[in-house]
């Protein structure tokens, strides 16, 4: 039984791509419902102080309308996707924490899906390939080996005997090279099939490690891993890079969007483009921050937030005895517990979180926010400095 050449007048491969993106967005947003609403304790971070915020029940109305658009988009793709993308842009401007890597990628691909089939597929192929290449580049550094590999190894070490766990660690250490192979290999005819199989394997392993059998953490990346494996399979039949570039030349819109997505991650190394828009998730190569609280400050936090304040580990105190007696506030766990996603790893996001907690301080040194940007000097902000941020 042969497959139909078209569905509702749309070439089959293009139709499957569209449906994959619609379903992936639907699942991702359902896995992070509070991220898209305004009634919550985790702070909103609009692009500007004057940007309007939706109040209840309008935030729910808009959220439901966007979900409906994703479903309707299966049959009425163009109007539904245009409506969704404008709504997504509005929601992102209301809270930059909504700029999660999966959401950004899906929206870019959905935008490209509005173009004619050939340039759209060509652009999507280049973008997905670039995701793997940039994900690999972002991991080429000591912090991936120092921070990410041990984290990924925790559940693996519990599943496998020591000798096999050592082999698994080698593959995790080689993760950047493997992702680079996928991003390049899908364009090389004799490597294409191996690259696709490798991509499926990589995402399967990631799903095991992060999923319910592993860390059971960050629910939104579970469908993302499945989606990426599907996208590689859908987008890369036997196709030549030259033919893809020729199709891009025929559409300045496709070429323009693709060029921006591929090149803008360079700016992330200078703090001029978000790490999540540069596919640096689980790379260790992002800005970090620590939020230190004195004991009296912890007791003044609202009850739901106190569980995120933890005494410093003894290993930390050995190297920093001056921090003894302080607690560290786990900003990532707060965001993950309430929104279903981590906060974007950018200094401006950490400052907003620090300013939110600073309202409970009574003394200038009740709270200190220490930010390590991707580049540049460490920043230390006190209560007064945080309160002055607008």
DSSP 39-107: -SSSPP--SSTTS--PPTTHHHHHHHHHHHHHHHTTTSHHHHHHHHHHHHHHHHHH-GGG--HHHHHHH
Mean pLDDT of 161-179: 91
- Report which of 366, 356, 302, 312 is spatially closest to residue 331, judged by C-alpha positions: 356
- Residues 114-153: tens digit of each pLDDT: 999 999 999 999 999 999 999 999 999 889 999 999 999 9
Q: What is the pLDDT of residue 313?
A: 75
- Residues 5-22: tens digit of each pLDDT: 777 778 899 999 999 999
Bridge-based pairing of strands 379-382 and 367-372 is: antiparallel
Find out whether 181 and 203 touch, Cβ atoms under 8 Å.
Answer: no
Residue 205 has pLDDT above 70, yes or no: yes
pTM over cut 0.85: yes
- Residues 184-204: tens digit of each pLDDT: 999 999 999 999 999 999 999
Partners of 358 in the β-ladder: none
What is the pLDDT confidence band of residue 2, given thresholds at 50, 70 and 90?
low
Q: What is the pLDDT of residue 318?
A: 64
- Tell me the Ramachandran region of residue 312: left when phi exceeds 0, alpha when psi lies from -120 to 50, beta otherwise: beta
Find out whether 136 and 176 touch, Cβ atoms under 8 Å.
Answer: yes
Half-sphere exposure for 8 (CA within 13 Å, toward CB): 10
- CA 248 from chain centre, in angstroms, equals 27
- Cα separation, 378 vs 288, in Å, equals 10
- Residues 313-364: tens digit of each pLDDT: 766 666 676 677 889 999 999 999 999 999 999 999 999 999 999 999 999 8
Find out whether 367 and 361 touch, Cβ atoms under 8 Å.
Answer: yes
- Cα separation, 202 vs 182, in Å, equals 10
> What does the mean pLDDT of the chain come to?
92
150 vs 375: which has the higher pLDDT = 150
- Report which of 54, 104, 63 is spatially closest to residue 84, judged by C-alpha positions: 63
């Amino acid at each position: 039984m042969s497959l139909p050449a078209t569905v509702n007048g749309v070439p089959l491969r293009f139709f499957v791509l569209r449906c994959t993106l619609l379903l992936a967005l639907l699942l991702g947003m359902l896995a992070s419902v509070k991220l898209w609403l305004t009634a919550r304790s985790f702070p909103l971070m609009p692009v500007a102080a004057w940007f309007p915020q939706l109040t209840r029940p309008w935030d729910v109305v808009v959220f439901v309308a966007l979900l409906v658009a994703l479903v309707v988009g299966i049959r009425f793709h163009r109007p539904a996707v245009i409506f969704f993308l404008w709504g997504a842009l509005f929601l992102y401007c209301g809270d930059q924490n909504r700029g999660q890597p999966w959401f950004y990628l899906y929206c870019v691909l959905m935008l490209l899906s509005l173009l004619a089939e050939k340039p759209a597929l060509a652009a999507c192929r280049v973008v997905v390939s670039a995701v793997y290449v940039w994900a690999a580049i972002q991991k080429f550094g000591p912090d991936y080996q120092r921070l990410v590999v041990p984290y990924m190894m925790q559940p693996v070490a519990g599943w496998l005997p020591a000798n096999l766990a050592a082999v698994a660690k080698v593959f995790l250490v080689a993760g950047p090279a493997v992702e680079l192979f996928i991003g390049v290999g899908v364009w090389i005819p004799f490597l294409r099939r191996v690259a696709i199989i490798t991509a499926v394997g990589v995402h399967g392993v990631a799903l095991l490690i992060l999923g319910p059998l592993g860390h059971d953490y960050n629910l939104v990346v579970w469908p993302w891993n499945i989606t990426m494996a599907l996208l590689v399979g859908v987008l890369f039949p036997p196709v030549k890079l030259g033919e893809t570039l020729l199709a891009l030349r025929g559409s300045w819109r496709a070429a323009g969007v693709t060029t921006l997505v591929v090149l803008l991650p360079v700016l992330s190394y200078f703090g001029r483009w978000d790490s999540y828009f540069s596919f640096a998730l689980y790379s260790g190569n992002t800005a970090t921050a620590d939020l230190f609280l004195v004991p009296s400050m912890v007791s003044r936090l609202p009850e739901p937030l106190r569980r995120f304040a933890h005494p410093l580990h003894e290993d930390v105190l050995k190297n920093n005895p001056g921090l003894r007696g302080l607690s560290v506030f786990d900003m990532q766990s707060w965001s993950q517990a309430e929104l279903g996603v981590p906060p974007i790893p950018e200094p401006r996001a950490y400052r907003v979180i620090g300013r939110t907690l600073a309202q409970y301080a009574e003394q200038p040194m009740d709270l200190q926010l220490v930010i390590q940007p991707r580049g540049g000097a460490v920043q230390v902000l006190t209560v007064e400095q945080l309160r002055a941020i607008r």
